[in-house]
Amino acid sequence: MGGLSRTVRYKNNRIDIGGHRFFSKSDRVMDWWHAMMPFQQTAEPVQKIDYQGDTHQIRMTDAADPEKRDDVMLLRSRRSRIYFLRRFFDYPISLSTQTVANLGLVRMARIGLGYLRVRLFPIRPEETLEDFYINRFGRELYATFFESYTEKVWGVPCSKISAEWGAQRVKGLSITKAIVHALKGRSSGGKDIGQKKVETSLIEQFLYPKLGPGQMWELCSEKIKGLGGEVIMGREIRKLFLEGKRIRAAEVLDRATGALQRIEADYFFSTMPVSELVAAIAAGGADVPAPVLETARDLPYRDFITVGLLLTDLKVKPDAAEGGKLIRDNWIYIQEPDVLVGRLQIFNNWSPYLVADRSKVWVGLEYFCNEGDALWSRSDEDLAALGREELSRIGIIEHGAVLDSTVIRVEKTYPAYFGAYEHFDLVRNYLDPIENLFLIGRNGMHRYNNQDHSMLTAMTAVDNIKAGITDKSNIWAVNTEKEYHEEAEKDAKG
C-alpha cells in the first residue's frame, strides 16, 4: 500500500524506497498528517508547532510514545552529505574549513571565480538543466558536484534535460542562499516543522512514521474500510471507455484470477503513468490523435533498484564531536565516478524501528537504470554482490560486514524531462478537457513532485469536484511556485 511511498518488509526489516521526509509548507497537508498520526512525545512537552507563520496547537493527549504504540509520527533530524574523493562534504555545500581542506585552495579558487563570472554573465535563455545549475552554482562547482551525479541519475547529459526539472526540485537554492542559511545557523530550533522560510533542500527537521512511509497509507486504507469504503488491489487497468467528454467505465484485469471486470464510476483519479493511461483510453475505442498517442507512448522514465544490505557496522565513523557509534546521515549522495551506486540510505537514521536488530546497520544502495538494461537485468545475487563490492571499494564498509541482502526493483520511479516530454502539452491538452478525469501525483502528471505536492494535487481535484470546476489548471499549478499555492489553499478552506 502506498505506491512509490510504500514500505517494503524484509525479514522484519523495513525499506523506504527513495526516502520520504514528511514536511510541508502547506498547512493543509501538515494538518492531515497530524490527524492521521499523533506526533511523538518529547522530553520537553511540545504544546504547539509553528509553521507557515501560524501557530498549530497540539493537545498533549495527542502526543504518543513510540515505545508503546506504532501509529506515531517521529520527529527526526535531517542530514544529507556528499561522498566524493573518498571524503564527506556537507550538502548543501558550505564554505567550511573541512570543505576547503577536502577540495584544496586551487579548486576552491576556481569555484569562486566561476560563481562570480556567472553572477555577472548568467546564461540566457535558461533552457537546460545544465544552464540552471551553472546559473546558481557556477561552472566549476556544477562540474564538481552536480554534473556526473545528475547524469548518473538520469542516464543522459544535463544539457539534454529541461531546466524545468531544476525548477521542480531545486527551486530557489543557490550558493548565496546556502551561505546565508549557514550564517543563520543550521538548527531551526525544533519548533517550525513546516519551515516556510527555509528553502526545501535546506530543511533540517522532518516528521516520519515510526514504521516507514507506507504506514501512513496502510492506516489510511484501514480508515477507508472502517467508513464502509472498499480498497481493491491487484488489478490492472486495461481499457477506459470515453464517451464525449467523460469516462464512463474502466475494464480491469484481476491479476490473480485473470478475470476481467467492468467498473463504472462518476469520477476517475489517475496516478498511473500517463503513457499507460492514454494507451488505455485508446484501447477503449476512443479516437486518440496520433501525435498524442506517440508522445504519450514515448514519454521517458527512469527506473530504480534498491539493494538492501544488513551490516555489522560501517567503516566510516562519526566525528568525535558528534558522539555515538553511527554517522547521522539519512542518506549520502555517492559522487564517486568509479561506482554505479548513486545514493546510500541509512534506515536506522530514518527510524530506529525500521531495523529488527538495532545493534545492526540497515542500509539501502540506490541504483538508477532503465527497465531492461544491463543493470536492471542482473540477478539479485549479482546486484547484492555489486553493492557489497562498491561500498567496500570506496571505503564505506569492510567487505565482510554484510550479513544479509535483498533487492527491490521499481519501475517508472522518475518521470523524466527530456525526449518526448518536449511535447507533453499535446497530451495534457487532450486529457484536461475530460471532465471527470483528474491526473494527480508523480506518475499521474509526469511531474517530479514530492509526496506533499502529490497530496495537494489530489486535494485540489476533490475541491474542484465539490465546487463543480472542470478546469484543471489549479491542479497543474501545484508545485510551480514557492509557496505551494497558499492563496488557493486559503480559498479552499473558506
What average pLDDT does the structure give for the chain? 86
Question: pLDDT exceeding 70 applies to what percent of the chain?
Answer: 85
Q: Answer whether CATH 3.50.50 is correct for domain 232-299+417-493.
A: yes
Note whether 71 and 38 are within 8 A (CB): yes
Q: How many CB atoms lie within 10 A of CB 114?
A: 19
What are the sequence ranges of the domains in the chain? 3-78+204-219, 80-183, 232-299+417-493, 301-415
Q: In what order do the strands lie in the sheet with 87-90?
A: 87-90, 80-84, 331-334, 343-346, 361-369, 301-311, 402-415
pLDDT at residue 463 greater than cutoff 50: yes
Q: Residue 370's pLDDT is what?
A: 95
pTM over 0.75: yes
Measured N-to-C along each axis, helices 129-137 and 147-154 cross at an angle, to the nearest 10 degrees, of: 150
Please tell me the distance from the alpha carbon of residue 9 to that of residue 355, in angstroms, as a whole number: 10
Q: Residue 456's pLDDT is what?
A: 96
Please tell me the distance from the alpha carbon of residue 111 to that of residue 91, in angstroms, as a whole number: 16
CATH class of 301-415: alpha beta
Mean pLDDT confidence for 466-471:
94
Q: Residue 188's pLDDT is what?
A: 43
Vertex 165: Cα angle to 161 and 170 (nearest 5): 130
Dump pLDDT digits (tens) for 9-29.
999 999 999 899 888 878 899
Whether 232-299+417-493 shares its CATH topology with 301-415 is answered no
Give the three cell numbers for residue 163.
531546466
Dump pLDDT digits (tens) for 54-93.
445 555 456 788 999 999 998 888 888 999 999 999 887 7
The residue ranking higher by pLDDT, 179 or 422, is 422
pLDDT at residue 317 greater than cutoff 50: yes
Please tell me the distance from the alpha carbon of residue 205 to that of residue 57, in angstroms, as a whole number: 19
Please tell me the distance from the alpha carbon of residue 440 to that of residue 475, in angstroms, as a whole number: 8
Q: With bands split at pLDDT 50, 70 and 90, how would you rate the model's confidence at 454?
A: very high
Please tell me the distance from the alpha carbon of residue 403 to that of residue 389, in angstroms, as a whole number: 14
Helix-strand-coil split of the chain, %, nearest 5: 40, 25, 40
Which amino acid, 345?
A: Q
3-class secondary structure per residue, 196-241: CCCCHHHCCEEEEECCCCHHHHHHHHHHHHHCCCCCCCCEEEEEEE
Dump pLDDT digits (tens) for 149-179.
888 888 889 998 888 777 666 655 566 655 5
Q: What are the Cα distances from residue 431, in Å, to 109, 250, 288, 425, 477?
A: 51, 16, 10, 10, 16
